[in-house]
Amino acid sequence: MDKLMKYSEAVEKFDPVLGLEVHVELGTKTKMFDQSPNEFGGDPNTNIAPASIGLPGALPTINKTAIEWAIRLGLALNCEISEVSRFARKHYFYPDLAKAYQISQAAVAVAHNGWVDVELDDGDTFRVEIERAHVEEDAGKNTHIGSEDGRIQGAAYSLVDFNRSSVPLIEIVTKPIEGAGDRAPEIASKYVQALRDIARALGVSEARMERGNLRADVNVSLRETPESPLGTRTETKNVNTFRGIEKAVRYEISRQAQVLADGGEVVQQTRHFHAEDGTTSAGRSKSDAEDYRYFPDPDLGPIVASPEWVERLRAELPELPAVRRRRLRDEWGFSELEMRDVVNAGAMDLIENTVSAGASSAAARKWWMGELSRVAREADVELEELTVTPAQVAELQVLVDEGKINDKLARQVLEGVLAGEGDPVEVVDARGLAVVSDDGPLIAAVEAAMADNPDVVEKIRGGKMAAIGALMGPVMKATRGQADAKRVRELIMERI
């Protein structure tokens, strides 16, 4: 067990510096250097071709779409695009890397020198500067069988699946992130969320962390003061949830602070993250000048990005998430806080589609952030996983606005929709949930309620209008909540 300094104390005594290396798997149809399908899942070793599994003599070809997407991503990250960049071989041995080298980019990356503005929970924006974004290929996947934790140590045997081999990756590397202070964990996580949103807006990746489309290596170091030289960093590899990124940063800050406070030295090393308890543990030690014997891949020509091509791609960029968020906030008239809640709940697209289907923004927000958020929380699923569509929510609101159902009935209608009973109109018909505004049944219920509660009737006659509520209860009960409240009120007053 590591000795940890209390987080609040650690960030008071030391200044944390972060570095994030994020891998984004591109969703191109085919692989980076051959024509085998780039598909998630599938039987092991079925989506493969000679080049990606390193068969001797097999020649790689460059996937042009992947390069185009890398440039688009680079532009969206405010990077400069290199007119000429190259692929290089990065040598290392691992059983899931059949060639014993990975094709990556060394000295010159496709994109470099950019930045992303990250929105934080308190409404502040924090700028993260980007060193480079380069193209490379993914490796295959080893599965170790027989060990307790799935690691190679203690395993009886290992399996190799090359389906992921040569899937196009963009690695986005930040410059050292300084000035984060005690918000370092949040900044790290929100930065990766911003990358996810940008990748999705560009349509270059599903960017789903749980599928490994998006993976982060988290570098953390501490120094005495913001003026001190950079301290020694650790690199926690392959953290694959946003909560995990936050926890890994927090843990490393607390751990390194204690090491330093005890007069020790932080060891430069990679570390593993343990999601169960949010801790990290030592991996291999790593020096800065690791010698991968990079050299230009003689099988592949240079990537040439002409200014005309780059400008065309820039002109074709879609609206980016930060701009879209600001636009929608203004269009919808939400406060900053309301908008942040909407974004954090993953409700922005849903509300947008509900509004397109005809609902007001206020109504759309009411349903998605209210009743539907509650249902999602109870079922422990994301809002977008609920089996109700924005169009159905809009239809529900139309029924409310037309007075066909009230809010209480609307919740029952939603329940029916979620249970797969059809669209709101169908549920209203099938369950007989429409508001009763026909006088017939209402008059009977009103008169019965008045007869049963003469004292209340007296109070109303005496001018205590609030007492009407005491008659509404029995009327609603008699009509199973379906009485049109406005009409009931009128019928009572007519009889007073």
Q: Which residues bind ligand ADP (CB under 6 A)?
A: 17-21, 131, 173-176, 219, 221, 230-231, 233, 235
Identify which of residues 230 and 379 has a Cβ nearer to Mg ion in the complex: 230
| Residue 178 CB, nearest approach to Mg ion (Å) | 19
Name the pairing type of β-strands 234-239 and 269-274.
parallel
CB neighbourhood size of 495 (10 A):
12
Q: How far is it, in rounded angstroms, from Cα 128 to Cα 187?
A: 9
Q: Which is nearer to ligand ADP, 219 or 392 (CB)?
A: 219
- Closer Cβ to Mg ion, 174 or 193, answer by number: 174
Q: How far is the CB of 218 from ligand ADP (least distance, A)?
A: 9
Q: Give how many residues touch Mg ion by CB under 5 A.
A: 1
Residue 219 binds what, of ligand ADP, Mg ion, none (CB under 5 to 8 Å, by partner type)? ligand ADP
Query: Shortest approach of ligand ADP to residue 82 CB, angstroms?
Result: 17
Nearest residue to ligand ADP, by Cβ distance, number only: 19
User: CA angle at residue 226 from 224 to 227, to 5 degrees?
Assistant: 90
Closest contact distance (angstroms) between CB of 223 and ligand ADP is 8
Contact of residue 176 among ligand ADP, Mg ion, none (CB under 5-8 Å per partner type)? ligand ADP
Nearest to ligand ADP of 175, 489 (CB atom):
175
356, containing H or E segment: helix 348-356
Q: How far is the CB of 173 from Mg ion (least distance, A)?
A: 7
Query: E strands, 14-53, where?
Result: 15-25
State in angstroms the smallest separation of the CB of 92 from ligand ADP.
12
Instruction: Answer whether 133's CB lies under 8 Å from 113's CB.
Output: no
Using Cβ positions, the residue closest to Mg ion within the complex turns out to be 21
Q: According to DSSP H, which parts of 116-214 are helical?
A: 184-202
In the bound state with ligand ADP, the residue whose beta carbon lies nearer, of 229 and 462, is 229
CB 135 within 8 A of CB 170: yes
The distance of closest approach from Cβ of residue 388 to ligand ADP in the complex, given in angstroms and rounded to an integer, is 42
Query: Distance from CA of residue 102 to its chain's centroid?
Result: 29
Q: Can you spell out the DSSP letters for 73-127? A: HHHHTTPEEPSEE--EEEE---TT-TTSEEEE--SS-SEEEEEEEEE-TTS-EEE
- Of 2, 7, 13, 21, the residue at the interface with Mg ion (CB under 5 A) is 21
Q: Which does 221 bind (CB under 5 to 8 A by kind): ligand ADP, Mg ion, none?
A: ligand ADP
Q: Which residues of 348-372 are buried (b: 16+ CB within 10 A; e: fewer)?
A: bebbbbbbebebebebbbbbbbebb
| Interatomic CA distance for residues 49 and 163, integer angstroms | 9
Minimum Å gap between C-beta 101 and ligand ADP is: 15
| Residue 270 · residue 233 · CB < 8 Å | no
Measured from the CB atom, is 21 or 371 closer to Mg ion? Answer: 21
Which residue type, as a one-letter code, is found at position 261? A
Q: Which is nearer to Mg ion, 138 or 395 (CB)?
A: 138
The Cα–Cα gap between 404 and 425 comes to 10
For ligand ADP, give the closer residue by CB, 127 or 374: 127
Question: Tokens 């749980």 — which residue?
Answer: 210
Q: Does 131 bind Mg ion (CB under 5 A)?
A: no
Binding residues for Mg ion, rule: CB under 5 A, are 21
